[in-house]
Structure 1
Amino acid sequence: MWDHETVDVLGVRVSRVDASTLRRFITAAVTERRKLTVTFANPDYVRKASKDAALRDLMNGFDLNLADGWGVVLASKIFGRPVPGRMANDDLTDDLFGLPADEGWGVYLFGNAPGIAEAAAANLREWFPGLDVVGTEHGHCADATGEIPPADAERLVAQINEAKPAILHVGLGTPLQQRFVADHRDRLDVPVIITCGAYLEHLAERRDYYPPWVLKLRVGFLYRLAREPRRLWRRYTIELCSYILTVLTHRLRHGRQPA
Protein backbone atom coordinates (compact mmCIF):
# COMPACT_ATOMS: atom_id res chain seq x y z
CA MET A 1 0.00 0.00 0.00
CA TRP A 2 2.87 2.36 0.79
CA ASP A 3 5.27 1.70 -2.06
CA HIS A 4 8.89 2.49 -1.23
CA GLU A 5 12.35 0.93 -1.38
CA THR A 6 13.88 -0.96 1.54
CA VAL A 7 17.22 -2.41 2.59
CA ASP A 8 17.52 -5.75 4.37
CA VAL A 9 19.44 -5.21 7.62
CA LEU A 10 19.90 -8.68 9.15
CA GLY A 11 16.39 -9.66 8.14
CA VAL A 12 14.63 -6.40 9.02
CA ARG A 13 13.30 -4.45 6.05
CA VAL A 14 14.44 -0.88 6.77
CA SER A 15 12.66 1.82 4.78
CA ARG A 16 14.72 3.98 2.44
CA VAL A 17 12.62 7.12 2.86
CA ASP A 18 13.35 10.67 3.94
CA ALA A 19 11.36 13.11 6.06
CA SER A 20 9.53 14.62 3.07
CA THR A 21 8.32 11.17 2.00
CA LEU A 22 7.18 10.44 5.55
CA ARG A 23 5.20 13.70 5.61
CA ARG A 24 3.62 12.80 2.26
CA PHE A 25 2.64 9.34 3.51
CA ILE A 26 1.19 10.74 6.74
CA THR A 27 -0.81 13.35 4.84
CA ALA A 28 -2.20 10.73 2.47
CA ALA A 29 -3.06 8.39 5.35
CA VAL A 30 -4.97 11.07 7.26
CA THR A 31 -6.78 12.69 4.34
CA GLU A 32 -7.65 9.39 2.63
CA ARG A 33 -8.27 7.47 5.90
CA ARG A 34 -5.70 4.82 4.96
CA LYS A 35 -3.89 2.98 7.72
CA LEU A 36 -0.17 3.74 8.08
CA THR A 37 1.89 2.05 10.81
CA VAL A 38 5.41 3.25 11.55
CA THR A 39 8.09 1.75 13.77
CA PHE A 40 11.82 2.28 14.19
CA ALA A 41 14.78 -0.05 13.73
CA ASN A 42 17.78 0.68 15.92
CA PRO A 43 20.85 -1.57 16.26
CA ASP A 44 19.52 -3.15 19.46
CA TYR A 45 16.17 -4.08 17.90
CA VAL A 46 17.82 -5.31 14.68
CA ARG A 47 20.30 -7.45 16.61
CA LYS A 48 17.50 -9.05 18.62
CA ALA A 49 15.29 -9.51 15.55
CA SER A 50 18.11 -11.29 13.71
CA LYS A 51 17.89 -14.02 16.37
CA ASP A 52 14.13 -13.90 17.00
CA ALA A 53 11.87 -14.73 14.05
CA ALA A 54 8.74 -13.59 15.90
CA LEU A 55 10.21 -10.13 16.58
CA ARG A 56 11.52 -9.94 13.01
CA ASP A 57 8.09 -10.74 11.57
CA LEU A 58 6.49 -8.27 13.95
CA MET A 59 8.74 -5.42 12.81
CA ASN A 60 8.40 -6.35 9.15
CA GLY A 61 4.63 -6.23 9.53
CA PHE A 62 4.77 -2.43 9.84
CA ASP A 63 4.33 -0.26 6.78
CA LEU A 64 7.50 1.69 7.56
CA ASN A 65 10.63 0.69 9.50
CA LEU A 66 12.64 3.88 9.88
CA ALA A 67 16.39 3.89 10.59
CA ASP A 68 16.76 4.85 14.25
CA GLY A 69 20.47 5.17 14.92
CA TRP A 70 23.67 5.63 12.95
CA GLY A 71 24.42 1.92 13.36
CA VAL A 72 21.51 1.10 11.06
CA VAL A 73 22.44 3.91 8.66
CA LEU A 74 26.00 2.52 8.50
CA ALA A 75 24.74 -1.03 7.95
CA SER A 76 22.61 0.12 5.01
CA LYS A 77 25.75 1.62 3.41
CA ILE A 78 27.76 -1.54 4.06
CA PHE A 79 25.04 -3.61 2.41
CA GLY A 80 25.00 -1.34 -0.65
CA ARG A 81 21.52 0.20 -0.29
CA PRO A 82 21.99 3.29 1.88
CA VAL A 83 19.06 4.99 3.56
CA PRO A 84 18.83 8.80 3.20
CA GLY A 85 19.84 9.31 6.84
CA ARG A 86 18.93 8.80 10.47
CA MET A 87 15.16 8.96 11.04
CA ALA A 88 14.70 8.61 14.81
CA ASN A 89 11.68 10.11 16.59
CA ASP A 90 13.87 12.89 17.98
CA ASP A 91 14.88 13.88 14.43
CA LEU A 92 11.23 14.15 13.36
CA THR A 93 9.61 16.29 16.07
CA ASP A 94 8.80 19.15 13.68
CA ASP A 95 7.33 16.69 11.18
CA LEU A 96 5.37 14.58 13.66
CA PHE A 97 3.83 17.53 15.52
CA GLY A 98 4.34 20.60 13.35
CA LEU A 99 2.41 19.00 10.49
CA PRO A 100 -0.69 18.11 12.56
CA ALA A 101 -0.56 21.54 14.23
CA ASP A 102 -0.66 23.18 10.80
CA GLU A 103 -3.36 20.86 9.47
CA GLY A 104 -5.57 20.75 12.57
CA TRP A 105 -5.16 17.01 13.16
CA GLY A 106 -5.54 15.55 16.63
CA VAL A 107 -2.73 13.53 18.21
CA TYR A 108 -2.86 11.05 21.09
CA LEU A 109 0.11 10.26 23.35
CA PHE A 110 0.12 6.79 24.91
CA GLY A 111 3.07 5.45 26.86
CA ASN A 112 5.90 5.83 29.35
CA ALA A 113 5.52 6.36 33.11
CA PRO A 114 2.51 8.09 34.70
CA GLY A 115 2.65 11.84 34.17
CA ILE A 116 5.11 11.72 31.27
CA ALA A 117 2.57 11.89 28.44
CA GLU A 118 0.81 14.81 30.13
CA ALA A 119 4.11 16.70 30.56
CA ALA A 120 5.03 15.99 26.94
CA ALA A 121 1.60 17.25 25.82
CA ALA A 122 2.05 20.50 27.75
CA ASN A 123 5.41 21.13 26.11
CA LEU A 124 4.15 20.23 22.65
CA ARG A 125 1.24 22.66 22.93
CA GLU A 126 3.74 25.39 23.83
CA TRP A 127 6.17 24.52 21.02
CA PHE A 128 3.48 24.03 18.37
CA PRO A 129 0.67 26.55 18.93
CA GLY A 130 -2.64 25.15 17.81
CA LEU A 131 -1.61 21.51 18.24
CA ASP A 132 -4.63 19.48 19.36
CA VAL A 133 -3.51 16.78 21.82
CA VAL A 134 -6.82 14.94 22.09
CA GLY A 135 -5.71 12.49 24.78
CA THR A 136 -2.92 11.08 26.92
CA GLU A 137 -2.45 7.80 28.76
CA HIS A 138 0.51 6.32 30.62
CA GLY A 139 2.06 3.06 29.45
CA HIS A 140 2.38 1.18 32.74
CA CYS A 141 -0.35 -1.29 31.84
CA ALA A 142 1.46 -4.62 31.44
CA ASP A 143 0.96 -7.36 34.01
CA ALA A 144 3.55 -9.66 35.59
CA THR A 145 3.88 -11.60 32.33
CA GLY A 146 4.88 -8.47 30.46
CA GLU A 147 1.64 -8.40 28.46
CA ILE A 148 -1.34 -6.03 28.53
CA PRO A 149 -4.36 -7.88 30.00
CA PRO A 150 -7.21 -8.23 27.46
CA ALA A 151 -9.61 -6.13 29.54
CA ASP A 152 -7.10 -3.28 29.75
CA ALA A 153 -6.37 -3.53 26.03
CA GLU A 154 -10.11 -3.27 25.31
CA ARG A 155 -10.34 -0.20 27.52
CA LEU A 156 -7.36 1.44 25.85
CA VAL A 157 -8.67 0.81 22.34
CA ALA A 158 -12.10 2.23 23.26
CA GLN A 159 -10.50 5.24 24.98
CA ILE A 160 -8.31 6.04 21.99
CA ASN A 161 -11.14 5.59 19.49
CA GLU A 162 -13.39 7.87 21.53
CA ALA A 163 -10.76 10.64 21.34
CA LYS A 164 -10.67 10.33 17.51
CA PRO A 165 -6.98 11.18 16.91
CA ALA A 166 -5.49 11.32 13.45
CA ILE A 167 -2.10 10.21 14.81
CA LEU A 168 -1.41 7.88 17.73
CA HIS A 169 2.03 7.67 19.38
CA VAL A 170 2.63 4.42 21.30
CA GLY A 171 5.59 4.32 23.70
CA LEU A 172 5.61 0.97 25.46
CA GLY A 173 9.07 -0.31 24.60
CA THR A 174 9.94 -3.06 22.14
CA PRO A 175 8.38 -5.54 21.51
CA LEU A 176 5.30 -4.65 23.59
CA GLN A 177 4.52 -1.52 21.58
CA GLN A 178 4.80 -3.38 18.28
CA ARG A 179 2.58 -6.19 19.58
CA PHE A 180 -0.04 -3.70 20.75
CA VAL A 181 -0.14 -2.09 17.31
CA ALA A 182 -0.16 -5.42 15.46
CA ASP A 183 -2.90 -6.86 17.67
CA HIS A 184 -5.19 -3.84 17.52
CA ARG A 185 -4.37 -1.89 14.36
CA ASP A 186 -7.58 -2.97 12.62
CA ARG A 187 -9.70 -2.03 15.65
CA LEU A 188 -8.00 1.30 16.25
CA ASP A 189 -9.88 3.95 14.27
CA VAL A 190 -6.68 5.95 13.77
CA PRO A 191 -5.09 6.52 10.34
CA VAL A 192 -1.48 6.86 11.55
CA ILE A 193 0.04 4.81 14.38
CA ILE A 194 3.68 5.42 15.36
CA THR A 195 5.72 3.56 17.97
CA CYS A 196 7.97 5.84 20.00
CA GLY A 197 9.75 4.00 22.83
CA ALA A 198 11.04 6.54 25.37
CA TYR A 199 10.43 9.50 23.04
CA LEU A 200 7.69 10.97 25.25
CA GLU A 201 10.23 11.17 28.08
CA HIS A 202 12.44 13.26 25.81
CA LEU A 203 9.52 15.54 24.90
CA ALA A 204 8.60 15.91 28.57
CA GLU A 205 12.10 17.26 29.21
CA ARG A 206 12.90 19.53 26.28
CA ARG A 207 12.38 19.84 22.54
CA ASP A 208 15.99 19.26 21.49
CA TYR A 209 16.82 16.21 23.60
CA TYR A 210 20.17 15.77 21.85
CA PRO A 211 22.37 18.91 21.87
CA PRO A 212 23.45 20.04 18.37
CA TRP A 213 27.08 18.98 18.91
CA VAL A 214 25.93 15.44 19.75
CA LEU A 215 23.99 15.19 16.49
CA LYS A 216 26.83 16.74 14.50
CA LEU A 217 29.36 14.24 15.83
CA ARG A 218 26.82 11.38 15.61
CA VAL A 219 27.45 10.28 19.19
CA GLY A 220 23.87 10.12 20.43
CA PHE A 221 24.50 6.67 21.87
CA LEU A 222 27.38 8.01 24.00
CA TYR A 223 25.21 10.89 25.20
CA ARG A 224 22.46 8.49 26.29
CA LEU A 225 25.02 6.16 27.87
CA ALA A 226 26.41 9.04 29.94
CA ARG A 227 22.89 9.91 31.11
CA GLU A 228 21.77 6.35 31.91
CA PRO A 229 24.91 4.24 32.39
CA ARG A 230 23.36 1.54 34.58
CA ARG A 231 20.51 0.85 32.16
CA LEU A 232 22.33 1.24 28.86
CA TRP A 233 25.95 0.23 29.40
CA ARG A 234 25.51 -3.29 28.06
CA ARG A 235 23.47 -2.18 25.02
CA TYR A 236 26.07 0.37 23.96
CA THR A 237 29.17 -1.71 24.64
CA ILE A 238 28.90 -5.48 24.38
CA GLU A 239 25.70 -5.61 22.34
CA LEU A 240 26.72 -2.80 19.97
CA CYS A 241 30.05 -4.50 19.26
CA SER A 242 28.17 -7.76 18.65
CA TYR A 243 25.86 -5.98 16.21
CA ILE A 244 28.73 -4.42 14.24
CA LEU A 245 30.55 -7.75 14.05
CA THR A 246 27.36 -9.47 12.84
CA VAL A 247 26.85 -6.82 10.14
CA LEU A 248 30.42 -7.15 8.87
CA THR A 249 30.25 -10.96 8.90
CA HIS A 250 26.96 -10.89 6.99
CA ARG A 251 28.46 -8.55 4.40
CA LEU A 252 31.50 -10.84 3.89
CA ARG A 253 29.32 -13.92 3.51
CA HIS A 254 26.54 -12.47 1.33
CA GLY A 255 28.11 -9.47 -0.42
CA ARG A 256 26.32 -6.28 -1.36
CA GLN A 257 22.60 -6.19 -1.99
CA PRO A 258 21.36 -5.33 -5.50
CA ALA A 259 21.12 -1.59 -6.03
Structure 2
Amino acid sequence: MLINKVKNHFSDDVLERKEAARLVSFLNPYSYLIMRKELELYNKIDSFYCDGILFAKAMQLTGKKFERVSFDMTSLAPRIFHYAQQKKLSIYIIGSEPGVVEKASLSFKALYPGLKFAGLRHGFFDTPVERENFLCELYELAPDIVVVGMGAPAQERFIADLKATGWKGTAFTCGGFLHQTASSGVNYYPAWADRLNLRWLYRMYDEPKLIKRYFIYYPLFFVVFIYDLLSFKFKKV
Protein backbone atom coordinates (compact mmCIF):
# COMPACT_ATOMS: atom_id res chain seq x y z
CA MET A 1 0.00 0.00 0.00
CA LEU A 2 1.04 3.64 -0.41
CA ILE A 3 1.87 4.01 3.27
CA ASN A 4 4.83 1.68 2.76
CA LYS A 5 6.21 3.82 -0.06
CA VAL A 6 6.31 7.19 1.66
CA LYS A 7 9.77 8.20 2.83
CA ASN A 8 10.35 10.81 5.53
CA HIS A 9 13.80 12.07 4.56
CA PHE A 10 15.28 13.39 1.36
CA SER A 11 18.99 13.16 0.57
CA ASP A 12 20.83 14.65 -2.37
CA ASP A 13 22.19 11.26 -3.39
CA VAL A 14 18.80 10.67 -5.04
CA LEU A 15 20.16 12.89 -7.80
CA GLU A 16 23.28 10.87 -8.47
CA ARG A 17 23.07 9.05 -11.79
CA LYS A 18 22.53 5.34 -11.24
CA GLU A 19 22.12 2.35 -13.51
CA ALA A 20 18.40 3.01 -13.77
CA ALA A 21 16.18 6.06 -13.51
CA ARG A 22 14.91 7.16 -10.12
CA LEU A 23 11.32 8.38 -9.92
CA VAL A 24 10.20 10.68 -7.11
CA SER A 25 6.66 11.88 -6.47
CA PHE A 26 4.68 13.59 -3.72
CA LEU A 27 1.43 12.76 -1.97
CA ASN A 28 -1.17 15.00 -0.41
CA PRO A 29 -4.64 13.93 0.76
CA TYR A 30 -6.13 14.50 -2.70
CA SER A 31 -3.47 12.70 -4.72
CA TYR A 32 -3.41 9.88 -2.16
CA LEU A 33 -7.03 9.07 -3.05
CA ILE A 34 -6.09 9.02 -6.73
CA MET A 35 -2.88 7.04 -6.49
CA ARG A 36 -4.22 4.31 -4.20
CA LYS A 37 -6.43 3.28 -7.15
CA GLU A 38 -3.37 3.10 -9.43
CA LEU A 39 -1.64 0.15 -7.78
CA GLU A 40 0.41 -0.88 -10.79
CA LEU A 41 1.51 2.68 -11.45
CA TYR A 42 2.51 3.63 -7.90
CA ASN A 43 4.67 0.52 -7.64
CA LYS A 44 6.78 1.99 -10.45
CA ILE A 45 7.56 5.11 -8.40
CA ASP A 46 10.67 4.78 -6.24
CA SER A 47 9.84 7.34 -3.54
CA PHE A 48 6.80 9.22 -2.32
CA TYR A 49 7.11 12.22 0.00
CA CYS A 50 4.58 14.12 2.12
CA ASP A 51 3.32 17.06 0.09
CA GLY A 52 1.82 19.27 2.77
CA ILE A 53 1.80 19.40 6.54
CA LEU A 54 -1.59 17.67 6.79
CA PHE A 55 -0.41 14.53 5.03
CA ALA A 56 2.82 14.57 7.03
CA LYS A 57 0.81 14.66 10.27
CA ALA A 58 -1.39 11.81 9.05
CA MET A 59 1.68 9.71 8.25
CA GLN A 60 2.95 10.23 11.79
CA LEU A 61 0.13 7.97 12.92
CA THR A 62 2.27 5.13 11.60
CA GLY A 63 4.59 5.71 14.56
CA LYS A 64 7.39 7.56 12.75
CA LYS A 65 8.25 11.21 12.35
CA PHE A 66 7.41 12.58 8.92
CA GLU A 67 8.19 16.01 7.55
CA ARG A 68 6.62 18.01 4.76
CA VAL A 69 8.59 17.72 1.52
CA SER A 70 6.95 19.50 -1.42
CA PHE A 71 8.29 20.43 -4.83
CA ASP A 72 8.01 24.19 -4.43
CA MET A 73 10.28 27.08 -3.49
CA THR A 74 9.51 26.74 0.23
CA SER A 75 10.77 23.18 0.31
CA LEU A 76 12.57 20.92 -2.17
CA ALA A 77 12.78 22.89 -5.44
CA PRO A 78 15.62 25.23 -4.34
CA ARG A 79 17.70 22.25 -3.25
CA ILE A 80 17.19 20.56 -6.60
CA PHE A 81 18.03 23.66 -8.61
CA HIS A 82 21.05 24.53 -6.47
CA TYR A 83 22.35 20.97 -6.65
CA ALA A 84 21.88 20.85 -10.43
CA GLN A 85 23.64 24.19 -10.88
CA GLN A 86 26.52 23.13 -8.65
CA LYS A 87 26.97 19.75 -10.35
CA LYS A 88 26.28 21.17 -13.85
CA LEU A 89 23.36 18.78 -14.38
CA SER A 90 20.85 19.39 -17.15
CA ILE A 91 17.14 19.88 -16.40
CA TYR A 92 14.13 19.44 -18.66
CA ILE A 93 10.85 20.90 -17.33
CA ILE A 94 7.47 19.75 -18.67
CA GLY A 95 3.96 20.70 -17.65
CA SER A 96 0.99 23.06 -17.38
CA GLU A 97 -0.55 25.00 -20.27
CA PRO A 98 1.39 26.39 -23.24
CA GLY A 99 3.50 29.37 -22.23
CA VAL A 100 3.39 28.70 -18.49
CA VAL A 101 6.61 26.72 -18.19
CA GLU A 102 8.50 29.31 -20.24
CA LYS A 103 7.32 32.10 -17.94
CA ALA A 104 8.14 30.08 -14.81
CA SER A 105 11.61 29.29 -16.14
CA LEU A 106 12.45 33.03 -16.23
CA SER A 107 12.20 33.06 -12.43
CA PHE A 108 14.36 29.95 -12.15
CA LYS A 109 17.00 31.39 -14.49
CA ALA A 110 17.09 34.68 -12.57
CA LEU A 111 17.64 32.88 -9.29
CA TYR A 112 20.01 30.23 -10.67
CA PRO A 113 21.82 31.81 -13.63
CA GLY A 114 24.14 28.82 -14.00
CA LEU A 115 21.29 26.32 -14.32
CA LYS A 116 21.53 24.26 -17.49
CA PHE A 117 18.15 23.79 -19.16
CA ALA A 118 17.91 20.88 -21.59
CA GLY A 119 14.49 22.10 -22.68
CA LEU A 120 10.99 23.29 -21.76
CA ARG A 121 7.60 22.00 -22.89
CA HIS A 122 3.95 22.30 -21.95
CA GLY A 123 2.20 19.18 -20.65
CA PHE A 124 -0.41 18.59 -23.36
CA PHE A 125 -0.23 16.15 -26.27
CA ASP A 126 -2.67 16.05 -29.19
CA THR A 127 -2.26 12.31 -29.79
CA PRO A 128 -0.70 9.28 -28.10
CA VAL A 129 1.80 9.18 -30.96
CA GLU A 130 2.94 12.72 -30.20
CA ARG A 131 3.43 11.77 -26.56
CA GLU A 132 5.36 8.63 -27.49
CA ASN A 133 7.59 10.56 -29.88
CA PHE A 134 8.36 13.12 -27.20
CA LEU A 135 9.30 10.38 -24.73
CA CYS A 136 11.73 9.04 -27.32
CA GLU A 137 13.14 12.55 -27.82
CA LEU A 138 13.74 12.86 -24.08
CA TYR A 139 15.51 9.52 -24.04
CA GLU A 140 17.81 10.65 -26.84
CA LEU A 141 18.41 14.03 -25.22
CA ALA A 142 19.19 12.31 -21.88
CA PRO A 143 18.66 15.19 -19.42
CA ASP A 144 19.97 14.45 -15.93
CA ILE A 145 16.81 15.70 -14.23
CA VAL A 146 13.23 15.87 -15.47
CA VAL A 147 10.54 17.84 -13.63
CA VAL A 148 6.93 17.11 -14.62
CA GLY A 149 3.84 19.06 -13.57
CA MET A 150 0.72 17.46 -15.03
CA GLY A 151 -1.31 16.56 -11.97
CA ALA A 152 -1.84 13.04 -10.62
CA PRO A 153 -1.82 10.44 -12.04
CA ALA A 154 -0.78 11.82 -15.46
CA GLN A 155 2.57 13.07 -14.19
CA GLU A 156 3.41 9.79 -12.47
CA ARG A 157 2.44 7.86 -15.59
CA PHE A 158 4.64 10.11 -17.72
CA ILE A 159 7.79 9.61 -15.65
CA ALA A 160 7.13 5.86 -15.44
CA ASP A 161 6.84 5.72 -19.23
CA LEU A 162 10.00 7.79 -19.56
CA LYS A 163 11.91 5.31 -17.41
CA ALA A 164 10.57 2.50 -19.61
CA THR A 165 12.38 4.03 -22.60
CA GLY A 166 15.69 3.31 -20.90
CA TRP A 167 16.32 6.89 -19.72
CA LYS A 168 18.59 6.93 -16.64
CA GLY A 169 18.16 10.27 -14.91
CA THR A 170 16.09 11.42 -11.92
CA ALA A 171 12.49 12.55 -12.36
CA PHE A 172 10.36 14.62 -10.00
CA THR A 173 6.66 15.39 -10.24
CA CYS A 174 5.69 18.94 -9.22
CA GLY A 175 1.89 19.29 -9.43
CA GLY A 176 0.86 22.95 -9.72
CA PHE A 177 4.33 24.36 -9.03
CA LEU A 178 4.85 25.68 -12.55
CA HIS A 179 1.52 27.50 -12.60
CA GLN A 180 2.22 29.03 -9.19
CA THR A 181 5.67 30.27 -10.21
CA ALA A 182 4.44 31.67 -13.52
CA SER A 183 1.67 33.61 -11.81
CA SER A 184 3.53 34.88 -8.73
CA GLY A 185 7.25 34.27 -9.16
CA VAL A 186 9.39 32.23 -6.79
CA ASN A 187 7.67 33.72 -3.72
CA TYR A 188 4.21 32.29 -4.35
CA TYR A 189 3.32 31.82 -0.68
CA PRO A 190 3.21 34.85 1.64
CA ALA A 191 5.65 34.55 4.55
CA TRP A 192 2.80 34.21 7.07
CA ALA A 193 1.24 31.30 5.18
CA ASP A 194 4.53 29.45 5.04
CA ARG A 195 5.42 30.18 8.67
CA LEU A 196 2.03 29.06 10.01
CA ASN A 197 1.71 26.06 7.66
CA LEU A 198 -1.37 27.66 6.10
CA ARG A 199 -0.27 27.23 2.50
CA TRP A 200 -3.48 25.28 1.83
CA LEU A 201 -5.55 28.27 2.97
CA TYR A 202 -3.69 30.64 0.67
CA ARG A 203 -4.11 28.26 -2.25
CA MET A 204 -7.89 28.28 -1.73
CA TYR A 205 -7.81 32.07 -1.83
CA ASP A 206 -5.63 32.11 -4.95
CA GLU A 207 -7.34 29.19 -6.71
CA PRO A 208 -11.02 28.98 -5.62
CA LYS A 209 -11.45 25.84 -7.73
CA LEU A 210 -9.52 24.01 -5.00
CA ILE A 211 -12.22 24.65 -2.38
CA LYS A 212 -14.07 21.48 -3.43
CA ARG A 213 -10.86 19.51 -3.06
CA TYR A 214 -10.26 20.69 0.49
CA PHE A 215 -13.80 20.43 1.79
CA ILE A 216 -14.94 17.23 0.06
CA TYR A 217 -11.93 15.12 -0.80
CA TYR A 218 -9.86 15.90 2.27
CA PRO A 219 -12.51 14.62 4.74
CA LEU A 220 -12.87 11.54 2.52
CA PHE A 221 -9.10 11.08 2.71
CA PHE A 222 -9.20 10.77 6.50
CA VAL A 223 -11.77 7.97 6.35
CA VAL A 224 -9.80 6.10 3.70
CA PHE A 225 -6.46 6.74 5.38
CA ILE A 226 -7.61 5.41 8.76
CA TYR A 227 -8.80 2.25 7.00
CA ASP A 228 -5.44 1.89 5.25
CA LEU A 229 -3.57 2.66 8.46
CA LEU A 230 -5.40 -0.06 10.38
CA SER A 231 -4.75 -2.52 7.57
CA PHE A 232 -1.07 -1.50 7.58
CA LYS A 233 -0.70 -1.98 11.35
CA PHE A 234 -2.55 -5.29 11.46
CA LYS A 235 -0.37 -6.67 8.66
CA LYS A 236 2.73 -5.75 10.65
CA VAL A 237 1.56 -7.61 13.77
TM-score under structure 2 length normalisation: 0.88
Which of structures 1 and 2 has the larger relative contact order (alpha carbons within 8 angstroms, sep 6+)? 2
Identity of aligned residues (%): 27
Q: Does 1:243 align with 2:221?
A: yes
**What is the CA distance between 1:250 and its match in structure 2?**
5.1
Q: Runs of 5+ in structure 2 lacking a partner? A: none
1:76-155 to structure 2, matched below 5 A, reads 76-83=59-66, 85-90=67-72, 91-141=75-125, 149-155=127-133
Decide whether the 8 Å contact of 1:58 with 1:182 is kept in 2: yes
Residue identity opposite 2:137 in structure 1: Q
Distance 1:34 1:217, change over 3 A: same
1:220-239 to structure 2, matched below 5 A, reads 220-229=199-208, 231-239=209-217
Decide whether the 8 Å contact of 2:136 with 2:165 is kept in 1: no
Distance 1:226 1:157, change over 3 A: same
Counterpart of 1:14?
6
Residue identity opposite 1:222 in structure 2: L
Q: How well do the aligned residues superpose, as a CA RMSD in angstroms?
A: 2.4
Structure 2 SS opposite 1:173: coil
Distance 1:196 1:256, change over 3 A: same
Q: Does 1:217 align with 2:206?
A: no
Distance (Å, rounded) in 2 between the aligned partners of 1:251 and 1:159: 41
Counterpart of 2:187?
208
Counterpart of 2:50?
67
Q: Does 1:36 align with 2:22?
A: yes
TM-score under structure 1 length normalisation: 0.81
Distance (Å, rounded) in 2 between the aligned partners of 1:34 and 1:61: 12
Decide whether the 8 Å contact of 2:181 with 2:188 is kept in 1: yes
**What is the CA distance between 1:120 and its match in structure 2?**
1.7
Distance 1:12 1:63, change over 3 A: same
Decide whether the 8 Å contact of 1:171 with 1:200 is kept in 2: yes
